[in-house]
Structure 1
Amino acid sequence: MQANTLKPSVASNPSAKFNSKQRKIDKKNLIDFLKSLFKKKFLMVLFSAGLLYLLLMDVKFSEIIHSIKTADLFLLVIAFSLHALGLTISAYRWRLLLKSLKVPSKIPYLIKSYLVATFFNHFIPSTVGGDSVRAYDSYKLGNNKSKGLAVIMVDRFLGLLALLIFVIISTFLSIEVSSKIPSLSLLIVLASVGAALFIYFIFNPPIKFFTIIEKSSIKIVSKFGSILVKIGGAFTQFGNRRKTLSKALALSFLLQANVILYYYLISKALGFDVHIFNFSLIIPLTIFITMFPFSVNGIGIRENALFFFFSFFGIAKSQAIAFAWIEFGMLLTLGVIGGFVYMFRKIEAEKVKEAIS
């Protein structure tokens, strides 16, 4: 009886029909999205597992554990504490960019946002990454989506630029590593051109040129152009704030120096005899390599890259793997801390997605 009374109400109400169809479409889209996400993640897990298997084939697991157990705990604690310094520098850079757009913020709030972002990056298997969380927080502070996204995009690009310049400079400081990297001259040329384009792009975003690319009849070119227009639009908001961008870039260099010191201390804890200048090239290159979205959180790629570089100094494979796992363990610990912060803040992933859509 109740079912019969429901049917006429739906039939007589077009909006109810539409909502019913919309729910079916949304459900189908969700299922398709989850299938696609599962397939992508499954392939990434396979890729990571395959790389680890190839690397661990001729290594005794007990040797890796021994290297970890015998590491200098005091130096590891100091290394981990550098995350606090890194978060503070990052927060000041973020606040500097927000302030230039007249968006007020407080350092403790921004640090908490970075911690939550770390949690999302390492523990939430979805399209909502750490940058999305930070974009949402920027949006909440200024109540403006475009400003929120612009700040995060500029912040991210300044970090990449600092990393790129570190590679160029360190090529001449770390002869022991640079002399053994194939096609080094080509790498320097590409990095230099990339850095020059980065700098020009930051201070003079060519929006008109990007718009022409966006209107291309070739779909992939048009899509790429659309991305460039969005990024260029973000930098346009900072067009008359070159002093702010210069200060933010300086903080990015300071942050990268802190990252290199962090890795160097982990190496000393394991007894590695590798000069810190060599880390100024090894670490930026490793970070660039792990940025490729082929594996889960860079697992497998990170270990192989570090072993490749450390082999130049006669460091055993088991020690290189121990180094990678200690460093990754510290990142996961930071992510767990971010998880607790997330629990108290009660941010819903869906709200983050809606805010930046």
Structure 2
Amino acid sequence: MHSKRWLRNIQVIVTLGLIVWLSWQANWTDLGHILGHAQWNWIFLGTLFVLVSHWINIFRWKLFIPPSGVSFVLLLRYYGAGIFSNNFLPTGIGGDGVRAVLLSRQASLSSSLLSVGSDRILGLVGLLSFVVPGFVFGLPPGITAYFAKFFSSLPYSLTIGLILIGLILGLITSWWTRFLWFTPLSQSLKQFSTDIQPHSFILGYSFALLSALCLVFTHMCILIAFDQGSLPAAAIWLVVMGSLSMLIPISINGLGVMESVYVLVLVNYGIQTAAALSVALVIRTLIIGFGLLGGLLALHLGIRGNQVPPQEQMRDIHKP
């Protein structure tokens, strides 16, 4: 409890500090002018891409749910409760636990945890896959010049490469252990592998790529809405860096961190700070808006659903 209190205090301080820094950097007159002259038809199109991305995510999650009679509508509400929790609970990972607990009404708790964990890992792998086209398009110009000097030495390149590989493996491992630390791995994974077809992972990875691609299109639309051009390279790096920044628990739900990343990336493309902050604010508004929509979808959950008796859940958790 003491460590959690310290973490929360740090998150509050970092969040407030970043908000103050962004406010100091922004020219509020320019910001108001840019937002007032935005092309809202492009913002609407970007919103539709976000909706499609969430829809794909639900289909991806469904691939890893053992046959249990859960309907798509009920799964939609569970997913809505998850994204609402992600935005309005203290940490950005709360929604995964909420999804698993709600799904355990129709399936065993271990199967629910494994389904959410598999879905989350494939989503992360799909997101990181866009690093490849990002490097093909090139890093932001200002960052490229810096890294060109830094990576000119082979030992530095190898060191950074190993650090990146370790970071990716660490993220994947952390997601598995977050959900599986109290489940009997041998029994749960054996049953999970029996219920889930191998091709589900290939299809799930394809869905993860499509979902991330929709987010890239969203960012391209928002950039066009503020007369900055489509900038596909910038859109890719915003999606990758912005999404990863949300996983770093140094602020409240990534508030301030994501916006700072957006400003730093877009400024390196020659975009003014006010325009960069406008893009970040619109994306944050979409995140919060869909979180609220998810909460509305979850309002009717109550205690509906054929719940698995608590005795069965406990028996499943403590199976030898």
1:282 and 2:246 equivalent? no
Between Structure 1 and Structure 2, which shows a larger proportion of helix residues? 1
The TM-score, its normalising length taken from structure 1, stands at 0.71
Q: What is the deviation of 1:319?
A: 1.2
The residue type paired with residue 69 of structure 2 is P
CA distance in 1 between partners of 2:92 and 2:269 (Å): 39
Q: Structure 1 residues 230 and 89 mapped into 2: Cα distance closer, same or farther (>3 Å)?
A: farther
> Which of 249, 255, 258 matches 1:302?
258
* Map of 2:47 onto structure 1: 80
Query: How far apart, in 2, do the equivalents of 1:230 and 1:65 lie?
Result: 55
- State the percentage of identical aligned residues: 19
User: Aligned partners of 2:186 and 2:32: how far apart in 1?
Assistant: 48
Match of 1:109 in 2: 74
* Structure 1 match to 2:208: 252
Larger gyration radius, structure 1 or structure 2: 1
Structure 1, unpaired ranges of 5+: 1-32, 206-222
Report if the CA contact (8 A) 2:234-2:265 is conserved: no
Contact 2:49–2:214 (CA under 8 A) maintained in structure 1:
yes
TM-score for both structures, normalised by structure 2:
0.78
Asked if residue 263 in structure 1 is aligned to residue 231 in structure 2, the reply is no
CA distance in 1, matches of 2:216, 2:203: 20
Q: Distance in 2 between matches of 1:304 and 1:231?
A: 40
One-letter code of the match for 1:280? I
For 2:294 and 2:144, the matched residues in 1 are separated by 40
Match of 2:10 among 43, 61, 64: 43
Paired residue total? 295
* Cα displacement string for residues 123-173 of structure 1 (whole angstroms, at most 9, x for unaligned residues): 23479811112102221122x010000100111111111112221342123
Q: Report the alpha carbon displacement of residue 246 of structure 1 after superposing the two structures with TM.
A: 1.2
Q: 1:137 aligned to 2:97?
A: no
Q: 1:63 aligns with which of 9, 30, 35?
A: 30
Deviation sequence 1:233-286 (CA, Å, 0-9, x none): 866555463221111111111111111111111111111135213322332122
Query: Would the aligned equivalents of 2:49 and 2:218 in 1 still touch at CA under 8 Å?
Result: yes
Pairwise CA distance, 1:90 = 0.9
What is the CA deviation profile of residues 186-224 of structure 1, one whole-angstrom value per residue up to 9, with x for unaligned ones?
65555457668999x8xxx9xxxxxxxxxxxxxxxxx99
The alignment partner of 2:18 has SS state of: helix
Where 1:297 maps in the other structure, the secondary structure is: helix
1:255 alignment partner, SS class? helix
Corresponding position of 1:164: 128
Q: How far has the Cα of 1:86 moved from its partner?
A: 1.4
Equivalent runs, 1:95-244 vs 2, <5 Å? 95-98=62-65, 101-125=66-90, 129-142=94-107, 144-177=108-141, 179-180=144-145, 182=147, 185=157, 190-191=163-164, 227=181, 237-239=191-193, 241-244=197-200
| Deviation of the 1:323 alpha carbon | 0.9
Could you tell me how far apart the structure 1 residues matched to 2:144 and 2:101 are? 44
Whose relative contact order is higher, 1 or 2, with alpha carbons under 8 Å and at least 6 apart? 2
Q: Deviations over 1:32-53 (max 9, x none)?
A: x5x8756543431221110121
CA contact (8 A) 2:140 2:265 kept: no
